[in-house]
Structure 1
């Protein structure tokens, strides 16, 4: 009968989870011990359970292995180009310069300051203050430039808004003139027929003052 494959996911039952943890922890420590003996390897194993208990195993000393790991990380940070040693002088000089610049950047961020003297720390502090002043100046210039651009855009929008308001008033005035009723001249006599049509008789009904014309 084949062994049933166990699905790798979190065990929800606390009791079953604790039993599985104890079994697998002992097996893991046993395998680490065998690997250290068979392959002459330095192994450090640190385990924290879900309840916060510490379990550890080390083939020699946890502190020595951890320090060896820290030293290896430091060497990698100083030499960002791992691989074969560069034999030519130009390549070696370039690697050295990159390592120095990397160390300077770390020191600017407040790291690896133990090896610096008091004068070097003062010089580093001055450089950081000067750089901060330049950053603040560049920030203020950028803010001023953006404010001026926004003010210019605001002025343009106000001009467009005033122009549109003027067009609306002109259109409203034109519509009012177009819809105004036409008035009939008061000095004309109109005849209304049976069909409701109006005809202009052409009589002048305006009032004239003075003596009648004797020549007629």
Structure 2
């Protein structure tokens, strides 16, 4: 069963607060004594009451324990300062290295763009040439891959459209061979239209000639 966190706050009633202080002070001193005996450690306990009264406990000479604490705390602060200084030096060194790397990359980039080649030796120029050839090879490979992916995508779309078209035809009760053929090109339409008009004109003239043949003969 998980118990919720109990919020601690100051006891408002002065009498209850004094009773709780007395009980817990005795319990704390008992725990400090047990810790010193069971674990063979030096323990010093200092308590000031709300009114400024001193309560203390120590497993040995309390002044020696306090002196030892001051010495160790001073050493700890000194070590922390040294560690901080070393860390700052490390960061400074890393920053300088990073700036040099950035500068080298910028110079290399300018050379790949064909800038600042005056100071390059034949060996450096050959290396730049090889790098450009490799880059072009990668670019062409990637370009071919993109083309292939686009073609596959278009094929998939085409198949999808055919499937949708078949579904629509099925809903309309039509078969693929019942679909009307697409209209001819505009130029073809004009050509056919012109030929049709000429044919009709010839037929009209022929009909008139045949119908009036007797009159003309006379």
Could you state the TM-score of these two structures normalised by the residue count of structure 1?
0.37
More helix by share: 2
Could you state the TM-score of these two structures normalised by the residue count of structure 2?
0.37
More strand by share: 1
